[in-house]
Amino acid sequence: MKNQVIAISTNKGGVLKTSITTNLAGVFAARGEKVLIIDTDNQGNAAVTFGQNPDEYEQTLYDVLVDGKPAEEVIVNVAENVDLLACNDDMTFFEFDVLTHKDEYTDVFKLLDKAMGPLREKYDRILIDTPPNLGLTQGNVLATADAVLIPFHPEKYSMRSLTKILKAVREFKEQHNEKLEVLGVVATLVNKRTTLHKNVMMMCRDYVMANGFRFFKTNIPLSVQFASAVAFEEKPMTIAQPGSEHAAFYFELVEEIMSDKIKN
Ligand SMILES: Nc1ncnc2c1ncn2[C@@H]1O[C@H](COP(=O)(O)OP(=O)(O)O)[C@@H](O)[C@H]1O
Ligand SMILES: [Mg+2]
């Protein structure tokens, strides 16, 4: 499916949301697609990944959402075939500003959806990076996305968090966005040598599949190499070193996403 809007969402931080967003952008761009990343997290890490300082942007997603600034005027190019609608600390005020002027908006969950109109036509793939919680920002993302990819870090309590996010997505779909699909769950920061990881992974995989969702066979292993590509080359791994064994995990993940068959 082209012109697809994929949100990378979960209610946790540090589970590779930004890494997946930016690396998948690299993979789709390498496949010849025109890709847009929309960063909705006030940490602005998508811009950081491409070596930029998000606080230096005069205008960001905040201006688009709150002041109705056309997104095309705010979007910047960050790599070949990859554009970015950046986010920075301004976004910290988004929820407060919108909710204190609630009467000025017809639907506070549809602000991003409104801005997306002209963008859907312009890009083959739009990837949305999200904050680590389920607030108004995440609501705006889930109200416009076609699909949601859920990263999950196997640890003792991750089953609880996975259950919550899947339930939240299901409820959100019913109330605000009928077309929203769960693309699947991808395990991240996996250390195969740890028995706990193996056990939790198996439990979560069974749970995800029993609920009719897809659990990707490809996972992203724990490795310091990924962070060093960002630090030294100021690019995600799939753009800095597309032929490396580490980039291969993301290329495989996209292969799996694009294949219709569920091969669990
Ligand atoms: N495969 C990996 N193994 C270990 N650390 C990683 C890996 N990929 C990325 N990292 C690092 O893990 C941290 C959290 O990743 P990030 O994508 O920012 O998570 P999130 O967006 O969910 O908060 C970052 O410092 C990142 O550089
Ligand atoms: Mg992030």
Confidence of residue 132 (pLDDT cuts 50, 70, 90): very high
Q: Is the CB of 222 under 6 A from ligand 1?
A: yes
Assign 195 a pLDDT band (cuts: 50, 70, 90). Answer: confident
Ligand 1 touching residue 13 (CB < 6 A): yes
Contact (Cβ atoms closer than 8 angstroms) between residue 214 and residue 262? yes
Span 223-246, mean pLDDT?
86
Is residue 150's pLDDT more than 50? Answer: yes
Residue 79: inside a domain: yes
- How many domains, the chain? 1
CATH number at residue 10: 3.40.50.300
- What integer pLDDT is reported at residue 49 of this predicted model? 95
Reply yes or no on whether the pLDDT at 48 is more than 60: yes
Average confidence (pLDDT) over 65-74? 96
* 104-126 pLDDT tens trace: 998 999 999 999 989 999 999 99
pLDDT tens track for 18-43? 999 999 999 999 999 999 999 999 99
User: C-alpha distances in angstroms, 131 versus 22, 43, 80, 83?
Assistant: 14, 8, 26, 19
pLDDT at 263: 45
* Mean pLDDT on 75-101: 96
- Residue nearest atom 8 of ligand 1, based on CA coordinates: 226
Ligand nearest to the CA of residue 22, numbered in listed order = 1
Give the distance (Å) from ligand 2 centre to CA of residue 198. 25
Report how far ligand 1's centroid is from the alpha carbon of 164 (Å).
Answer: 22
Residue 56 carries which DSSP code?
Answer: G
The pLDDT score that the predictor gives to residue 233 is 84
In a domain, 125, yes or no: yes
Residue 240: inside a domain: yes
Ligand 1 and 163: CB distance under 6 A: no
Q: Please tell me the residue having the least CA distance from ligand 1 atom 27.
A: 227
Residue 263 lies in a domain: no
Question: Residue 131: inside a domain, yes or no?
Answer: yes
Least confident of 27-36, 138-147, 189-198: 189-198
Query: In which order are the strands placed within the sheet that holds 35-39?
Result: 76-79, 82-85, 35-39, 125-129, 4-8, 147-152, 181-190, 220-221
Ligand nearest to the CA of 15: 1
15 Cα to the center of ligand 2, angstroms:
8
How high is the mean pLDDT of the chain? 93
Instruction: Give the pLDDT mean for 179-208.
Output: 91
The verdict on the CB of residue 227 being under 6 Å from ligand 1 is yes
Cα angle 83, 116, 10 (rounded to 5 degrees) comes to 80
Give me ligand 1 centre to Cα 84, in Å: 19
For residue 19, how far is its CA from the centre of ligand 2 (angstroms)? 7
> Which domain, by its residues, includes 148?
4-258
Residue 31 lies in a domain: yes
Question: Which one, of 176, 150, 178, lies nearest residue 257 by Cα?
Answer: 150
Q: Which of the four pLDDT bands, split at 50, 70 and 90, describes residue 264?
A: very low
Chain segment 153-186, per-residue pLDDT in tens: 998 788 888 999 999 999 999 999 999 999 999 9
**According to the model, what pLDDT value does residue 224 have?**
81
Asked whether residue 123 is assigned to any structural domain, the reply reads: yes
- Check pocket membership of 14 for ligand 1, CB cut-off 6 A: yes
The whole-number average pLDDT for the span 236-259 is 95
Mean pLDDT of 207-235: 88
Tell me which residue of 13, 81, 73, 6 sits closest to 50, measured CA to CA. 81
Query: Mutation test of ligand 1: which of 19, 22, 245, 252 has the most ligand atoms closer than 8 Å to its C-beta?
Result: 19
Of 131, 12, 1, which is closest to residue 61 (Cα–Cα)?
131
Query: What number does the ligand 1 atom closest to the CA of 21 have?
Result: 17
* Cβ atoms within 10 Å, residue 168: 17
